[in-house]
Amino acid sequence: MKKIEHIGIAVKDLNVSNKLFSKLLGVSHYKEEEVLSEHVKTSFFKRGPNKIELLEAIDNEGPIAQFLEKKGEGVHHIAFEVDDIVAEIIRLKKEGFTILNETPKKGADNKLVAFVHPKSSNGVLIELCQDVSKEM
């Protein structure tokens, strides 16, 4: 793993949260995007080298809707940038981590993504991110 790519925060209302984080960070979001496979609408902020992803459920079917129902708004995941997501999945499986999707899938912000189950990482959902331009 290279670095923290972003921190994902589940929110109930993306418009309200965009305004809040714009005030907090002193910058506007640079991108909004729907990821239909995850039933989510995202918004990205960047301040220096750091990125925040806000996630709003677009229906009651996806993991963000379930997270909001169980826990309310808050930190949903920490994403790490990787050069080779397939190799990283293999490495983590060998180390005993449970991978939620062993085949990387298209995520937001031009990334391939895979997730490590929070039960195998001290209750924190971990996202692995690889730029699509580096796809195998």
Q: State the average pLDDT over residues 67-91.
A: 97
Q: What is the pLDDT of residue 135?
A: 54
Query: Per-residue confidence at 133, pLDDT binned at 50, 70, 90?
Result: confident
Q: Which residues have C-beta within 8 Å of that of residue 39, sequence separation ≥ 6?
A: 57, 58, 59, 61, 62, 63, 64, 65
Q: Classify 118 as helix, strand or coil.
A: helix
What is the pTM (predicted TM-score) of this model?
Answer: 0.92
Q: Classify 124 as helix, strand or coil.
A: coil
Q: What is the pLDDT of residue 68?
A: 97
Q: Classify 89 as helix, strand or coil.
A: helix
Note the pLDDT tens digit of each residue in 29-70: 999 999 999 999 999 999 999 999 999 999 999 999 999 999
Q: Which residues have C-beta within 8 Å of that of residue 21, sequence separation ≥ 6?
A: 29, 45, 52, 54
Percentage of the chain beyond pLDDT 90 is: 95
Note the pLDDT tens digit of each residue in 86-106: 999 999 999 999 999 999 999
